[in-house]
Amino acid sequence: MSSNFNLDDSIRKIEDFPHKGILYYDITSILTNPEAFSWCIDQMVEYYKDKKIDAVAAVESRGFIFSAPFAKAMQIPLILVRKAGKLPGVTLKKSYQLEYGKAEVEIHQSDVPQGKNVLLVDDLLATGGTMGAAVELLTMGGANVKHIFGIIGLPFLKYADKLPGIEIKTLIEYESENVGS
Protein backbone atom coordinates (compact mmCIF):
# COMPACT_ATOMS: atom_id res chain seq x y z
CA MET A 1 0.00 0.00 0.00
CA SER A 2 1.31 3.42 -0.91
CA SER A 3 2.74 5.78 1.69
CA ASN A 4 0.97 8.45 -0.35
CA PHE A 5 -2.42 7.23 0.88
CA ASN A 6 -4.72 10.19 1.62
CA LEU A 7 -5.94 9.50 5.15
CA ASP A 8 -7.90 12.76 5.26
CA ASP A 9 -10.34 11.31 2.70
CA SER A 10 -11.13 8.51 5.18
CA ILE A 11 -11.84 10.70 8.21
CA ARG A 12 -15.45 11.80 8.68
CA LYS A 13 -15.79 15.43 9.77
CA ILE A 14 -18.91 16.27 11.76
CA GLU A 15 -19.82 19.94 12.19
CA ASP A 16 -21.18 21.26 15.47
CA PHE A 17 -20.32 18.16 17.51
CA PRO A 18 -20.17 17.95 20.47
CA HIS A 19 -20.86 21.71 20.57
CA LYS A 20 -21.81 24.35 18.05
CA GLY A 21 -18.77 25.65 16.20
CA ILE A 22 -16.68 22.51 16.78
CA LEU A 23 -15.54 20.33 13.89
CA TYR A 24 -15.28 16.72 15.15
CA TYR A 25 -12.79 14.36 13.49
CA ASP A 26 -14.35 10.89 13.62
CA ILE A 27 -12.05 7.88 13.24
CA THR A 28 -14.91 5.37 12.99
CA SER A 29 -14.94 6.00 9.24
CA ILE A 30 -11.35 4.67 9.15
CA LEU A 31 -12.57 1.45 10.74
CA THR A 32 -15.23 0.91 8.10
CA ASN A 33 -12.60 1.31 5.38
CA PRO A 34 -10.28 -1.74 5.45
CA GLU A 35 -7.72 -0.01 3.23
CA ALA A 36 -7.52 3.02 5.54
CA PHE A 37 -7.39 0.90 8.71
CA SER A 38 -4.67 -1.35 7.26
CA TRP A 39 -2.72 1.68 6.14
CA CYS A 40 -2.78 3.12 9.68
CA ILE A 41 -1.51 -0.11 11.23
CA ASP A 42 1.13 -0.53 8.52
CA GLN A 43 2.36 3.03 9.14
CA MET A 44 2.62 2.35 12.87
CA VAL A 45 4.62 -0.84 12.33
CA GLU A 46 6.89 0.79 9.76
CA TYR A 47 7.61 3.78 11.99
CA TYR A 48 8.26 1.83 15.20
CA LYS A 49 9.84 -1.38 13.86
CA ASP A 50 13.40 -0.21 14.52
CA LYS A 51 12.73 1.63 17.76
CA LYS A 52 13.15 -0.17 21.06
CA ILE A 53 9.51 -0.66 22.03
CA ASP A 54 8.92 -3.42 24.61
CA ALA A 55 5.14 -2.95 25.04
CA VAL A 56 2.28 -0.80 23.81
CA ALA A 57 -0.21 0.89 26.13
CA ALA A 58 -3.59 1.90 24.74
CA VAL A 59 -6.04 4.48 26.03
CA GLU A 60 -9.70 3.43 26.26
CA SER A 61 -11.39 2.81 24.03
CA ARG A 62 -10.44 3.80 20.51
CA GLY A 63 -6.75 3.48 21.30
CA PHE A 64 -7.40 -0.24 21.88
CA ILE A 65 -8.54 -0.66 18.27
CA PHE A 66 -5.26 0.55 16.79
CA SER A 67 -2.97 -0.91 19.45
CA ALA A 68 -4.18 -4.51 19.36
CA PRO A 69 -3.19 -5.26 15.73
CA PHE A 70 0.02 -3.26 16.24
CA ALA A 71 0.93 -5.33 19.34
CA LYS A 72 0.24 -8.54 17.42
CA ALA A 73 2.34 -7.44 14.45
CA MET A 74 5.23 -6.38 16.71
CA GLN A 75 4.84 -9.41 19.03
CA ILE A 76 4.78 -7.21 22.14
CA PRO A 77 2.41 -7.00 25.14
CA LEU A 78 -0.63 -4.73 25.13
CA ILE A 79 -1.41 -2.75 28.30
CA LEU A 80 -4.90 -1.30 28.70
CA VAL A 81 -5.37 2.19 30.16
CA ARG A 82 -8.98 2.14 31.34
CA LYS A 83 -11.49 4.49 32.88
CA ALA A 84 -11.60 4.15 36.66
CA GLY A 85 -13.53 1.19 38.05
CA LYS A 86 -13.16 -1.06 35.00
CA LEU A 87 -10.22 -3.24 36.10
CA PRO A 88 -10.62 -5.96 38.75
CA GLY A 89 -7.05 -6.35 40.01
CA VAL A 90 -4.59 -4.17 41.91
CA THR A 91 -4.43 -0.93 39.94
CA LEU A 92 -2.56 2.32 39.69
CA LYS A 93 -4.90 5.31 39.33
CA LYS A 94 -4.43 8.87 38.17
CA SER A 95 -6.93 11.73 38.22
CA TYR A 96 -6.64 14.54 35.70
CA GLN A 97 -8.46 17.71 34.81
CA LEU A 98 -10.88 17.88 31.89
CA GLU A 99 -12.17 21.07 30.33
CA TYR A 100 -15.28 20.80 32.54
CA GLY A 101 -14.49 18.52 35.43
CA LYS A 102 -12.24 15.63 36.36
CA ALA A 103 -11.60 12.13 35.09
CA GLU A 104 -9.54 9.19 36.30
CA VAL A 105 -7.70 6.42 34.46
CA GLU A 106 -6.13 3.23 35.76
CA ILE A 107 -3.95 0.29 34.74
CA HIS A 108 -3.26 -3.09 36.29
CA GLN A 109 -0.10 -2.61 38.32
CA SER A 110 1.16 -6.06 37.31
CA ASP A 111 0.86 -5.22 33.59
CA VAL A 112 3.47 -2.46 33.71
CA PRO A 113 6.83 -3.76 32.45
CA GLN A 114 9.46 -2.58 34.93
CA GLY A 115 12.25 -0.58 33.27
CA LYS A 116 10.90 -1.27 29.77
CA ASN A 117 10.06 1.14 26.95
CA VAL A 118 6.35 1.59 26.32
CA LEU A 119 4.64 3.22 23.34
CA LEU A 120 1.44 5.01 24.38
CA VAL A 121 -1.37 5.11 21.77
CA ASP A 122 -4.70 6.86 21.35
CA ASP A 123 -6.79 7.69 18.30
CA LEU A 124 -6.69 11.47 18.69
CA LEU A 125 -4.30 13.79 20.51
CA ALA A 126 -5.94 17.03 21.65
CA THR A 127 -5.21 18.78 24.96
CA GLY A 128 -2.87 16.06 26.26
CA GLY A 129 -4.70 15.57 29.57
CA THR A 130 -5.52 11.89 29.18
CA MET A 131 -2.15 11.08 27.65
CA GLY A 132 -0.36 12.99 30.41
CA ALA A 133 -2.23 11.01 33.07
CA ALA A 134 -1.43 7.74 31.26
CA VAL A 135 2.27 8.68 31.08
CA GLU A 136 2.24 9.35 34.83
CA LEU A 137 0.58 5.98 35.51
CA LEU A 138 3.08 4.05 33.43
CA THR A 139 5.99 5.95 34.97
CA MET A 140 4.63 5.33 38.50
CA GLY A 141 4.55 1.65 37.60
CA GLY A 142 8.20 1.68 36.54
CA ALA A 143 7.97 1.88 32.73
CA ASN A 144 9.65 4.39 30.40
CA VAL A 145 7.34 6.25 28.02
CA LYS A 146 9.52 7.63 25.24
CA HIS A 147 6.95 7.57 22.42
CA ILE A 148 3.32 8.60 21.93
CA PHE A 149 1.30 7.85 18.82
CA GLY A 150 -2.05 9.14 17.62
CA ILE A 151 -3.87 8.74 14.33
CA ILE A 152 -5.00 12.38 14.45
CA GLY A 153 -3.26 15.31 16.10
CA LEU A 154 -4.78 18.69 16.94
CA PRO A 155 -1.61 20.70 17.70
CA PHE A 156 -3.52 23.96 18.16
CA LEU A 157 -4.83 22.45 21.42
CA LYS A 158 -1.19 22.18 22.59
CA TYR A 159 -1.03 18.48 23.56
CA ALA A 160 2.77 18.56 23.23
CA ASP A 161 3.01 21.08 26.08
CA LYS A 162 1.71 18.44 28.53
CA LEU A 163 4.02 15.73 27.17
CA PRO A 164 7.55 17.18 27.38
CA GLY A 165 10.50 14.97 26.50
CA ILE A 166 8.35 12.43 24.66
CA GLU A 167 8.51 11.87 20.91
CA ILE A 168 5.01 12.33 19.48
CA LYS A 169 3.98 10.90 16.12
CA THR A 170 0.64 11.40 14.37
CA LEU A 171 -0.48 10.30 10.92
CA ILE A 172 -2.41 13.49 10.20
CA GLU A 173 -2.78 16.88 11.87
CA TYR A 174 -5.54 19.45 11.69
CA GLU A 175 -4.89 23.08 12.51
CA SER A 176 -8.36 24.15 13.69
CA GLU A 177 -11.48 22.74 15.32
CA ASN A 178 -13.73 25.52 14.15
CA VAL A 179 -16.29 24.87 11.45
CA GLY A 180 -15.35 26.68 8.28
CA SER A 181 -11.67 27.08 9.21
Catalytic site positions: 62, 99
Q: End-to-end CA distance of the chain: give it in Å, rounded.
A: 31
Identity of the amino acid at 99 = E
Instruction: Report, in angstroms and rounded to the nearest whole number, the Rg of the chain calculated over CA atoms.
Output: 16
Nearest C-alpha neighbor of 111 from the set 134, 90, 131: 90
Please tell me the distance from the alpha carbon of residue 16 to that of residue 3, in angstroms, as a whole number: 32
Which H helix or E strand runs over 138?
helix 129-140
Beta bridge partners, 90, equal none
